[in-house]
Amino acid sequence: MNQSSLWQWRPTSRNTAVTTVIFFLLLFVGLSVFMGWFDVSIFYSGFSLQQQILSNHRIEHPLKCGNQTEITCPMSNYPNTTYNVTNPVNSSGTMCPSYFRWIHEDLRPWKETGITKDMVELARKTASFRLVIVNGTAYLQKYMWVFETRDKFSWWGIVQLLRWYPGRLPDLDMMFECGDLPLIPSRNFQGPDARPPPLFRYCSNEESLDIVFPDWSFWGWEFMEESLVTSPSNSIPCTLPPPYNATEMREFLDSKANATRKVEMLEKEYWDHIKKKQ
């Protein structure tokens, strides 16, 4: 290598090094925010542009449910429209969308044994919060900090449900986790004495027993306004469709496998095309 090329090489290398450091710094910051290692909301306070945007179009969504540890959603924050519980006017009688059928599959592990209180308690280890509904009042116990305040959006959904169907929600006691990845591997809970913990979350898969609950974003962003319940429903909810029978299940899995194959084929075609170009 001669003098001049060495001279030229050095600053370029330094620039590359600086760029690389900045790149990894940004990557690290991005990853930290994504993983929830630090709270980005500290940057929001005093950020006047955001406040300006908010004040131009400010809609309050009160979720007055006590403090962060022991939470009760009081009746005073409840719509007071009168309606007849025992005689819903509009019995819509419509069938719920077919994805509702998966709840039968999600709950199958407990079909024979039922769910006992100690199975629920077992899910406490990983749960973000516990929701108890007694006599139409929701009680929440928060166990851990939750990324993106997903927990609050899910509570919002539950409060909306209570408002939509006052007096018609059954008493319940459920554990909920707000992360992305399933936590209850089915291989750890096989056989008649398996006693898997019932844990609700936004995602599950073939290898897991986590029970799927609507994603926090159903009640987030623009849907929050659309889903704001201002008076109770006077019609009964849609009817839960029956479980898939063996034939229907096979057909569903077949069409899923077909779709997967198709996507893989398109992917392969794309990469073959790119390779041919080079």
Size of the site for ligand NAG (CB under 6 A): 21
- Spatial separation of the C-alpha atoms in residues 122 and 115, rounded to whole Å: 11
Rounded to 5 degrees, φ, ψ at 69 are -100, -45
Whole-number minimum distance, CB 110 to ligand NAG, in Å? 23
Taking contact as CB under 6 A, which single stretch among the options 21-29, 80-88, 181-189, 210-218 is the one that binds ligand NAG? 80-88
Per-residue CA distances from 157 to 52, 71, 108, 115, 151 (Å): 28, 15, 25, 24, 10
Taking contact as CB under 6 A, which single stretch among the options 35-43, 50-58, 66-74, 143-151 is the one that binds ligand NAG? 66-74
Residue 27 as a binder of ligand NAG (CB under 6 A): the answer is no
Residues 6+ apart with CB under 8 A from 123: 175, 197, 198, 199
Residue with tokens 């919002």: 156
Q: Which of 138, 204, 156, 159 is nearest to 177 (CA)?
A: 204
- C-beta of residue 179 within 8 angstroms of C-beta of residue 129: no
Residue with tokens 């994603």: 215
Whole-number minimum distance, CB 132 to ligand NAG, in Å? 13
DSSP 209-247: -PEE---GGGGSTTHHHHT---S--SBPPPBPPPPPPHH
Q: What residues numbered 219-248 form the site for ligand NAG, per CB under 6 A?
A: 234, 245-248
Residue 50 as a binder of ligand NAG (CB under 6 A): the answer is no
Q: Which of 39, 180, 207, 251 binds ligand NAG (CB under 6 A)?
A: 251
Q: Which of 3, 4, 90, 230 binds ligand NAG (CB under 6 A)?
A: 90
Taking contact as CB under 6 A, which single stretch among the options 56-64, 146-154, 201-209, 251-259 is the one that binds ligand NAG? 251-259
E-assigned strand segments in the chain: 70-72, 129-134, 137-142, 172-176, 199-201, 211-212
Residue 98 as a binder of ligand NAG (CB under 6 A): the answer is no
- C-beta of residue 158 within 8 angstroms of C-beta of residue 136: no
Whole-number minimum distance, CB 243 to ligand NAG, in Å? 10
Binding mask 111-150 for ligand NAG (x = CB under 6 A): ------------------------x---------------
Q: Which of 3, 52, 56, 86 binds ligand NAG (CB under 6 A)?
A: 86
Residue 207 as a binder of ligand NAG (CB under 6 A): the answer is no
Please give the residue ranges that form the binding site for ligand NAG (CB under 6 A): 66-67, 69-70, 80, 82, 84, 86-87, 89-90, 135, 234, 245-248, 251, 254-255, 258
